[in-house]
Amino acid sequence: MRVFFEKSNRILDLSLDLKPRAFLVLAFVFLIPSYLFPLWTLTMFAPQYPEGLRMGIYSWKLEGGNKGQDVKEINVLNHYIGMKDIEIADFNEFKWIPFVVGAVGLLILRAAVLGKVSHAVDCLVIYLYFGAFSVWSFGYKLFWYGHNLAPTAAVRVDPFMPPMFGFKQLANFGVYSYPGLGSYALGLVALCLALAVFLAWREGRLSPAGALRAAA
């Protein structure tokens, strides 16, 4: 154990090689789609809605299908069960997620330029934490909408958890919930960061301590 930590400390101080740096830059590039594409998509079909109602959740906005009309329609339907209107103003996430993505991006760039292994590890750890928190936050939001139903609603339904991943039948609606392109890109960011750290680690373990310029 002690050996591991000592070795780790040595590796963390090492300067990054070209390959890990390239993966860091790639990770940065894959952050960009999270601004352009939805992170999550919800699609609802019912007999009366053969074309489906669509909602895309971006890192900074909601976008309804049919020029935004679908979100309004979802709200009109949800008001019968006493669900709160889905409104951009209610999503704090839209304020902090873009900011955090930007901050993580800067950290990744910093690691790519300054180039210590420890920086890459920092990026990975912060990013994984951010990712996990975001997924929890999204899940909680779904839970919150499904469980904060007005007691005076015209149609009483048991509190429910909308599907986070996959399909669920809710009354006359079949609801599909899947990650969007933005989330897949964010997944690639994690992969690139992990690869950068993994490569740096392997490199560090193989290189003889004396040959390192890190000490200098």
Partner 1 sequence: MNEKKKSILSWGVLAVVVAAGLLVGRCAPSGPKAAKKGGAETKSDVAVAAMKTYVAPGDLDEYYLFSSGGHSGQVYVYGVPSMRHLSTIPVFTPYPGTGYGFDDESKAMLGNLTWGDAHHPALSETNGDYDGRWLFINEMNGRIARIDLRDFKTKQIFGPVPNVSGNHGSSFVTPNTEYAMMASRFSIPIPKGTVAPIEKYATDYKGIIAGIKIDPKTGQMSLAWEIMTPPFDWDLGDAGKKVSDGWMFWTCYNAERATGKLEVTSAQRDRDYIAAVDWKAVEKAVAEGKGDLIGGVKVIDPKKVPGLVWLMPCGKSPHGVDVSPDGKYIIGSGKLQGVTTAFNFEKIKTAIQNKDFTGDEDGIPVLKYESIKDAEVPVGLGPLHTQFGPDGMAYTSLFVDSAIAKWKLGTWEVVDKIPMSYSIGHLCAAEGDTVSPDGKYLVGLNKLSHGRHLSVGPSQPESSQLVDISEEKMKLLYDAFTEPEPHYAQMIKADKLHPIEVYPKEENKNPLAIWDVKDAGVTRQGTNVLAKVVLVRSTITPTAIEVALGDTVKIVMTNIEQTTDELHGFGLLDYNINIVVDPGETKAVTFKADKPGVFPYYCTNFCSALHQEMQGYLIVKPKG
In whole angstroms, the minimum distance from the beta carbon of 141 to partner 1 comes to: 25
3-class state of residue 22 by DSSP: helix
Q: Residue 154 CB, nearest distance to partner 1 (Å)?
A: 6
Residues 6+ apart with CB under 8 A from 118: 12, 13
Nearer to partner 1, 76 or 128 (CB): 76
Query: Which residue in the block uniquely carries the two structure tokens 């079949």?
Result: 174
Show the site string, 126-165: x = touches partner 1 by CB under 8 A, - = not: ----------------------------xx----------
- The mark string for 32-61 relative to partner 1 (x by CB under 8 A, - otherwise) is ------------------------------
Which residue is associated with the tokens 């890192």? 59
Which contiguous run of DSSP H or E holds residue 140?
helix 117-147
* Site for partner 1, residues 63 to 102, rule: CB under 8 A: 69, 72-73, 76, 80
Is residue 167 classed as helix, strand or coil in its secondary structure? strand
Instruction: Please say whether the beta carbons of 39 and 187 come within 8 A.
Output: no
Distance CA 81, CA 64 (A): 20
Work out how close the CB of 42 gets to partner 1 at its nearest, in angstroms, rounded to a whole number.
18
Which residues are at the interface with partner 1 (CB under 8 A)?
A: 69, 72-73, 76, 80, 154-155
